[in-house]
Amino acid sequence: MKDSVKVTINDKEVEVPREYTILNAAVEAGIKIPTLCHLDLHDLKMVNRTASCRVCMVEVEKRPNLAPACATPVNDGMVIRTDTLRAITSRRMAVELLLSNHPTDCLICPRNLRCELQALAQELNIREINYSGEMNEFHIDSSSQAVVKHQNKCILCRRCETACNEVQTCGILSALNRGFETIVGPAFNLPMKETSCTYCGQCVAVCPTAALTEVNHVPKVWEALNDPEKYVVVQTAPAIRVALGELFGMEAGTIVTGKLAAALRRLGFDQVFDTDFGADVTIVEEAKELIHRMETGGRLPMLTSCCPAWVSFIEHQFPDLVDVPSTCKSPHIMTGTIIKTYFAEKNKIDPNKITVVSIMPCVAKKAEAARTELSIDDHNNVDIVITTRELGDMLKEAGIDFDKLPDEDYDHPLGESTGASVIFGTTGGVIEAAIRTVYEWTTGDELEEVEFHALRGIDGLREAVVPINGEEIKIGIAHGLGNARQLLEEIRSGKSKYHAIEIMACPGGCIGGGGQPYHYGNDEIVKKRQQAIYQEDRRKKIRKSHLNEEVLKLYENYLGEPYGELAHKLLHTSFEAKERI
């Protein structure tokens, strides 16, 4: 059978691969067919092909009804028309129907000007809704610390379900009820808080409207900044600096580290610190823990634990395996802890007066910061978490012309970081950073080639063997919780061959996090952020965590031995088996 077929779209003939849909073929022919529910994150392996919105309907010769372009495979000799009155009217009516059951509070909607439904209504030139009628009025679920579910804004594209069930295999969101009453929600429409949701935020990342958004914590940050009693410290995760620029019209993959530090200073934070510092501390602790486990016959493989969604996943879905992850707290929690102990003591500031704000690419970090077991002396290590998107909103609200800001440095000492910590922002980065340290510590030799290309890439499951001291260290990497599940099943059945595994809940790692600027279905954006992360690593003078001078001082002056007693008290935690709901 020939691998390609010829199809004619609006009189234009194109030859395309046999497995193409009409939509793919139209792209090839340079013809735009509007879509809404459709989403294809190619290399990140998420495809939503529910064909439920019926916005991409086209005419196909000899077919009595219209065909959804997103889900109809091409065949040889197919004659397609996308521009007839019949097709255009049908598409417009589908959007009109959606709008007839959608709030029109666009001006005050969190997705205003970022909403795919709004953009579509504009694109299809909709000026009136001919079929208005009853509208659903559902309760807004703001029960959780992380995700708000605003069902009235849901258009049932079901992308969130695909993300939650097929990609993340969490199985929290699915369609409930039927007919006009159909909604998407957890089983029995339980409040999100009462479910096993990991808050990975991938549902938020793919939602075309404001049906799923992060909990907005911006007002709390403004409040803290304007409270004269508060000493407000901010920290930024590695993945922020390669994504924030997108919110200000910059190319995906633009590195804005310097402007980011400058912008935060303009907002009035008392200290602008970098979560990368905490990442370097994490590596010191985690590398020691791995060596310790390997030398003492401890539990292997060791799993990374910096991703809170992933931690929540294992607690709920694999409660029998909660002793497998590293006990290290995540980098921003470590940074928060160090700010409220070491930094506070050193600068004689009452930790109760310090507010730590984390800028994260992540929705789950909001819920993580609220986990009481991570607090030290009854105060949270991190007080407020806002996402990259929320920071963008704040900067706009503050009237900061981001583009024109000078490049500035982070504040001393918790702004010092290495290339190893920057790569935490991408899948494969944490384990690569750990290997750089483990190698030098176990061999005593200097590692000259610090880039482990075998650990890099975008495939959902990767593995590599790193020879250290004559021993082959087997590394596994998974991003996306569905991929993680496969590795966990191996561990559960005793078949895992790895020494260490890195797991990130979000496809791509933190660069593809649920709190990042919307990618609108374009996986290239996520890949460009990844390239930028590696570029940022190359720009750093020091590229190994254990050589971060400020980290070394922290241990020397305060913590003592890495993985020692005080380090354990402050920087490590334990995980709890939880019920799956």
Partner 1 sequence: MVNSRRLHMLVCGGTGCQSQDSDKLVKALDLVLDKYGYKEEVEVVKTGCFGFCEKGPIIKVQPDDIFYVEVKPKDAKRIIEEHVIKGRRVEDLLYSEPAKHEKVEKQHDMNFYKKQMRIALRNCGLINPEDIEEYIAVDGYLALGTVLTTMTPVEVIELVKKSSLRGRGGGGFPTGYKWELTYRNKHDKKYIICNADEGDPGAFMDRSILEGDPHSVLEAMAIAGYAIGADKGFIYIRAEYPLAIHRLNVAIDQAREMGVLGKGLFDTDFNFDIELKYGAGAFVCGEETALINSVEGGRGEPNAKPPFPAESGLWNRPTCVNNVETFANIPPIILKGPEWFSSIGSEKSKGTKVFALAGKVNNVGLVEVPMGIKLRDIIYEIGGGIRGDHKLKAVQTGGPSGGCITAENLDIAIDYDSLTSIGSMMGSGGMIVMDEEDCMVNIAKFYLEFTEEESCGKCTPCRIGNKRLHEILTKITKGEGTEEDLERLVNLGQMIKESSLCGLGQTSPNPVLSTLNHFRDEYLEHIINKNCPAGVCKGLSNKS
* Residues marked as catalytic: 286, 289, 306, 326, 365, 368, 373, 510
Structure tokens at 453: 């290309």
| Sequence-distant (≥ 6) Cβ neighbours of residue 370 within 8 angstroms | 145, 380
| CA 195 – CA 421 distance, rounded (Å) | 33
**In the complex, what is the shortest distance from the CB of residue 97 to partner 1, in angstroms, rounded to a whole number?**
4
| CA 46 – CA 27 distance, rounded (Å) | 19
**In the complex, what is the shortest distance from the CB of residue 135 to partner 1, in angstroms, rounded to a whole number?**
10
| CA 348 – CA 346 distance, rounded (Å) | 6
List 25, 33, 39, 57, residue binding partner 1 (CB under 8 A): 57
- 167-202 as b/e: b if 16+ CB within 10 A: bbbbbbbeeeeeeeeebbbbeeeeebeebbbbbbbb
Nearer to partner 1, 98 or 333 (CB): 98
Asked if 66 touches partner 1 (CB under 8 A), the answer is yes
Asked if 127 touches partner 1 (CB under 8 A), the answer is no
Asked if 556 touches partner 1 (CB under 8 A), the answer is no
Asked if 62 touches partner 1 (CB under 8 A), the answer is no
For residue 196, which of 165, 150, 240, 231 has the smallest C-alpha distance?
165
List 43, 45, 47, 73, residue binding partner 1 (CB under 8 A): 73
Burial class (CB in 10 A: 0-12, 13-18, 19+), 78: buried
Nearer to partner 1, 35 or 271 (CB): 35
Nearer to partner 1, 71 or 349 (CB): 71
Q: Do the Cβ atoms of 555 and 281 come closer than 8 Å?
A: no
Q: Do the Cβ atoms of 271 and 414 come closer than 8 Å?
A: yes
Of 5-13, 22-30, 69-77, 500-508, the segment contacting partner 1 by CB under 8 A is: 69-77
Query: How many chain residues touch partner 1 (CB under 8 A)?
Result: 38
**In the complex, what is the shortest distance from the CB of residue 486 to partner 1, in angstroms, rounded to a whole number?**
18
Of 95-103, 242-250, 317-325, 418-426, the segment contacting partner 1 by CB under 8 A is: 95-103
Residues in the chain: 581
Asked if 100 touches partner 1 (CB under 8 A), the answer is yes
Nearer to partner 1, 177 or 535 (CB): 177
Query: Taking the CB of residue 294, how many other CB atoms lie within 10 A of it?
Result: 18
**What is the amino acid identity at position 555?**
Y
For 272-318, the DSSP string reads EEEHHHHHHHHHHHHHHHHHHHHHHT--SSEE----HHHHHHHHHH-
Of 152-160, 241-249, 486-494, 507-515, the segment contacting partner 1 by CB under 8 A is: 152-160
Of 23-31, 128-136, 420-428, 500-508, the segment contacting partner 1 by CB under 8 A is: 128-136
Nearer to partner 1, 71 or 218 (CB): 71
Asked if 98 touches partner 1 (CB under 8 A), the answer is yes
**In the complex, what is the shortest distance from the CB of residue 89 to partner 1, in angstroms, rounded to a whole number?**
7
- Chain centroid to Cα 553, Å, comes to 32
For residue 388, which of 415, 360, 411, 407 has the smallest C-alpha distance?
360
> What string marks each residue from 167 to 206 as x (binds partner 1 by CB under 8 A) or -?
-------xx-xxxxxx------------------------
Nearer to partner 1, 102 or 389 (CB): 102
| CA 165 – CA 186 distance, rounded (Å) | 11
**In the complex, what is the shortest distance from the CB of residue 281 to partner 1, in angstroms, rounded to a whole number?**
45
Using CA atoms, how far residue 159 sits from 40, 117, 297, 431, in Å, is 10, 14, 44, 30
Nearer to partner 1, 83 or 401 (CB): 83
Of 67-75, 276-284, 391-399, 412-420, the segment contacting partner 1 by CB under 8 A is: 67-75
| CA 458 – CA 479 distance, rounded (Å) | 9
Give the 3-state secondary structure of 489-536.
HHHHCCCCCCCEEEEECCCCCHHHCCCCCCCCCCHHHHHHHHHHHHHH
Before 325, cis peptide (omega within 30)?
no
Asked if 53 touches partner 1 (CB under 8 A), the answer is yes
Structure tokens at 211: 């049906």
Q: Which residue, chain included where needed, has tokens 């990975």?
A: 200
Asked if 131 touches partner 1 (CB under 8 A), the answer is yes
Asked if 97 touches partner 1 (CB under 8 A), the answer is yes
Asked if 26 touches partner 1 (CB under 8 A), the answer is no
Asked if 51 touches partner 1 (CB under 8 A), the answer is yes
Burial class (CB in 10 A: 0-12, 13-18, 19+), 376: middle
Nearer to partner 1, 203 or 240 (CB): 203
Nearer to partner 1, 178 or 348 (CB): 178
Of 62-70, 104-112, 328-336, 371-379, the segment contacting partner 1 by CB under 8 A is: 62-70
**In the complex, what is the shortest distance from the CB of residue 372 to partner 1, in angstroms, rounded to a whole number?**
37
**In the complex, what is the shortest distance from the CB of residue 160 to partner 1, in angstroms, rounded to a whole number?**
14
Q: Which residues bind partner 1 (CB under 8 A)?
A: 49-55, 57, 65-66, 68, 71-73, 86, 89-90, 93-94, 97-98, 100-101, 130-131, 133-134, 155-156, 158, 174-175, 177-182
